[in-house]
């Protein structure tokens, strides 16, 4: 089982320079994390990530996260966007969830 993580630095904008609810491509970085496991530290430019779970998992975020089944759950097949502080050395840890 894996988590697929795409890192983004900003939102896209329309022709009037208004932000739209879509990430600006190209992405800053991409990772695939085997679960259970912990991602690499996110790029210093990363402001938010898109995370996709192949199977249900429980997540923890931070500079030294420890995931447990009591933490944030993501469902099998779910894709979620999560904001993170830029340049803070964040990563995500995951364990299999029910």
What is the tens place of the pLDDT at every residue in 66-87? 999 998 999 999 999 999 999 9
Whether the per-residue pLDDT at 98 is higher than 80: the answer is no
The predicted structure's pLDDT at residue 1: 83
| Paired tokens of 1 | 């089982």
At 29-53, the pLDDT tens digits run 999 999 999 999 999 999 999 999 9
Query: 68: number of CA atoms within 13 Å, CB side?
Result: 2
Residue 9 has pLDDT above 80, yes or no: yes
**67 neighbors 36 (Cβ within 8 angstroms):** yes
Q: What is the mean pLDDT of residues 1-5?
A: 94
């Amino acid at each position: 089982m894996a988590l697929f993580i795409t890192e983004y630095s900003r939102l896209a904008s329309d022709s009037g320079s208004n932000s739209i609810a879509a990430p600006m491509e190209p992405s800053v970085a991409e990772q695939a994390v085997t679960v259970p496991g912990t991602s690499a530290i996110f790029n210093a430019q990363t402001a938010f990530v898109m995370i996709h779970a192949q199977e249900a998992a429980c997540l923890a975020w931070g500079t030294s996260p420890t995931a447990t089944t009591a933490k944030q759950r993501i469902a099998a097949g779910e894709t979620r966007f999560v904001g993170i502080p830029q340049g803070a050395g964040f990563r995500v840890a995951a364990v299999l969830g029910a």
